Amino acid sequence: MAFSAPDKHKAKFASQLALYIYELSTIQFSQIGRILHSDEPESLQLVLFSFRGSLIGPLSTSLEYFHRFRRAQTKAILQEHRGEQEWEAAAWFLEKAVTSMVTDEHIYGPFPLCHIDLHFNNILVDGDYNITGIIDWSHAQTVPIERFALIPEFIPPPAASATFKQAIIEFRDIWMLETIVFIFQSIAWCICEITYGIFEWVIPCTVAIVLFFVGIGLIFGVLFGFVELLGFAAKKYASSVRDARDRENFQEAKIDFYA
């Protein structure tokens, strides 16, 4: 596709391909294996998958996946280059370097769904090079994120001509640029969603909380005023009773004095 698509359509095609790959990355599972439909509707399960001529899995870690890959590669190298020290040393080194191939935070997944064979022969386009579909999902499986990032369309074949390799490299650069733009657009969209959520939920909730506490304050204010009013009334009543008693005592004392 990098060599056959017209230059005016490459950016659009790369952008659509980036969207397809992103959508695949969001379909994640807890194990590495081949996808199989189960009898239950809308249900998928992971089963054994083909790995260098043998069936293995499902696997639970990316480390096990790459270790098996390197072990199989080492076995093939030792059989084909038996007695050749440079090849044997290279195989040993690559096998020991497996731990450097994985990222710690992704060892236990989640593992995205991968097409495995996503090259131009399996990408359907219309006359304007809009992607209309992806075919050949027979080998689709979940893989470590490090394997997911490996896209055949962007790997120049070693035996290809310099012109062909350059076309692939240029298309890969276009795809990377479109992917970065898509990522920033996604981030901007998330920010808009968060902002909308703030205005839709946070602000009304904040207003409701403020009104609640204002209401509580008003209630306590009314109760406090009522208590103060009762206290004032009680004081006035006690004062009037005391004054009446004093007048009565004064009258009695006055009568006794004149008597």
What range does the domain containing 94 cover?
7-196
- Please report whether residue 35 resides in a domain: yes
- Please report whether residue 79 resides in a domain: yes
- Please report whether residue 11 resides in a domain: yes
- Please report whether residue 231 resides in a domain: no
Q: Which two tokens stand for residue 181?
A: 């733009």
For position 246, what pLDDT does the model report? 62
For position 112, what pLDDT does the model report? 92
Contacts of 226 (CB under 8 A, 6+ apart): none
For position 41, what pLDDT does the model report? 53
pLDDT in tens, the chain (259 residues): 666 777 888 888 888 888 888 888 888 988 998 877 666 656 667 777 776 667 777 889 999 888 888 888 888 888 888 888 888 888 888 888 888 888 888 899 899 999 888 888 888 999 888 999 999 888 888 999 888 877 766 777 777 788 878 888 888 888 788 777 777 877 887 788 777 777 676 677 777 788 777 778 788 777 777 777 777 777 776 677 666 666 666 566 556 555 5
- Please report whether residue 232 resides in a domain: no
In three-state form (DSSP H/G/I as H, E/B as E, the rest C), the secondary structure along the chain is: CCCCCCHHHHHHHHHHHHHHHHHHHCCEECCECEEEECCCCCCEEEECEEECCEEECCECCHHHHHHHHHHHHHHHHHHHCCCCHHHHHHHHHHHHCHHHHCCHHHCCCCEEEECCCCCHHHEEECCCCCEEEECCCCCCEECCHHHHCCCHHHCCCCCCCHHHHHHHHHHHHHHHHHHHHHHHHHHHHHHHHHHHHHHHHHHHHHHHHHHHHHHHHHHHHHHHHHHHHHHHHHHHHHHHHHHHHHHHHHHHHHHHHHC
- Domain total for the chain? 1
For position 132, what pLDDT does the model report? 93
Q: Which two tokens stand for residue 24?
A: 């695949």
Report the C-alpha gap between 54 and 41 in whole angstroms.
30
**151: domain CATH number?**
3.90.1200
For position 37, what pLDDT does the model report? 67
Q: With b meaning 16 or more CB within 10 Å and e meaning fewer, what string describes 160-177?
A: eeeeebebbeebbebbee
- Please report whether residue 253 resides in a domain: no
- Please report whether residue 241 resides in a domain: no
- Please report whether residue 74 resides in a domain: yes
Contact 70, 95 (CB under 8 A): yes
